[in-house]
Amino acid sequence: MQISTKDVATLIILTSIVFLIAPLFLIIYIGWYNRRKKKHAEEKIWLRKTFDSELLKTQMEVQEQTLQTVAYDLHDNIGQILSLTAITLTSIDIDDRPMLSHKIEDAGELIKRSIAELRQLSRLLHGEELVKKGLVSAVEFELEWLNKSERYQLSFVNDGFVSVAGQRDNETIIFRLFQEIINNAIRHANATVIHVAIVQIEKSLTLTITDNGKGFDVAEALKQQGGMGLHNIQKRTAMLNGSAQFDSTPGTGTAVQIIIPYPIYVK
């Protein structure tokens, strides 16, 4: 079969077009890829800066919460113990020998109690050190401190969770989420019974906090700007690629569940 000159010319033209267009498409694709790569890098930098900014804010809030707890304890606990000590010492009658030794002994016990409280207080002032020891230790210490007031019935369950190295910043945010939810239960819901559970299944961490407080309308609370900090809880959970769920109705208490992949890697 003989190929005509016209067919040869057409083939040459088509081949030339392909060779001309192919580099053009390649140049366009490389340009598009580089723009996407640059945009992705910029997004990573922005996400990192956002995370660092939120982490700094969280650390400051943890410190503020710690200072508030210290202030309350100095006033309500250590202050009262020292006042009792002063009253005991000023009521001593040197001439009343039988009562003298008894009151001195009582004053000594009160001073020992105040020293023990101050030692615990110094541990609390190092809030960052608590988180360094792991999320579970920080939660246990916070609940132990809260339990001293004897106003609340508290329980804590840790089912399979073990802190992983390199996750301290993320655990600081989780710890602050825990603090915020507990504060809501006490201050807004007037709860007296609080249950806390941390469960880890494979690479998923679930923090669940339930209370017997007065409850609230979740949809209505989420509409409000302040919203009892619910939006803040959702935002911080989302930063860790997790989700926050609120289950509550007026008069029935509240259950908050935070589900987060763990270990957490912020990209």
The 3-state secondary structure of 213-227, one letter per residue: CCCCCHHHHHHCCCH
For residues 43 and 49, give the distance between their C-alpha atoms in angstroms, rounded to a whole number.
10
pLDDT for the residue numbered 114: 74
- Give the number of other Cβ atoms within 10 Å of residue 126's Cβ: 11
Spans of all domains in the chain: 152-267
Q: Is the peptide bond before 263 cis (omega within 30 degrees of 0)?
A: yes
pLDDT for the residue numbered 146: 82
267 residues of the chain, pLDDT tens digit each: 555 676 666 767 777 776 767 677 777 777 777 777 776 666 666 666 776 777 777 767 776 666 666 666 665 566 666 777 777 777 777 777 777 777 777 777 777 777 777 766 666 665 555 677 788 988 988 888 788 777 889 999 999 898 888 888 888 889 889 988 998 898 888 899 999 999 998 889 999 999 999 999 888 888 876 556 888 899 889 888 899 999 998 988 999 999 999 887 554
Question: 160, 199 in Cβ contact below 8 A?
Answer: yes
pLDDT for the residue numbered 267: 46
Place of tokens 């230790």: 137
Question: 154, 143 in Cβ contact below 8 A?
Answer: yes
- Give the number of other Cβ atoms within 10 Å of residue 178's Cβ: 21
pLDDT for the residue numbered 259: 95
- Give the number of other Cβ atoms within 10 Å of residue 235's Cβ: 12
pLDDT for the residue numbered 78: 67
Domain 152-267 has CATH 3.30.565.10: yes
Residues 6+ apart with CB under 8 A from 51: 239, 266
Query: Token pair for residue 175?
Result: 């710890």
Q: How many residues does the chain have?
A: 267
For residues 146 and 153, give the distance between their C-alpha atoms in angstroms, rounded to a whole number.
10
Place of tokens 């494979």: 202
β-partners of residue 259 are: 206, 243
Question: 205, 169 in Cβ contact below 8 A?
Answer: no
Q: How far is CA 118 from the centre of its chain?
A: 26
For residues 206 and 160, give the distance between their C-alpha atoms in angstroms, rounded to a whole number.
11
DSSP string across 122-173:
HHHH-HHHHHHT-HHHHHHHHHHHHHTTS--EEEEEEES----TT-HHHHHH
pLDDT for the residue numbered 45: 65
| Longest CA span, the chain | 138
Helix (H, G, I), strand (E, B) or coil at 211: strand
pLDDT for the residue numbered 4: 65
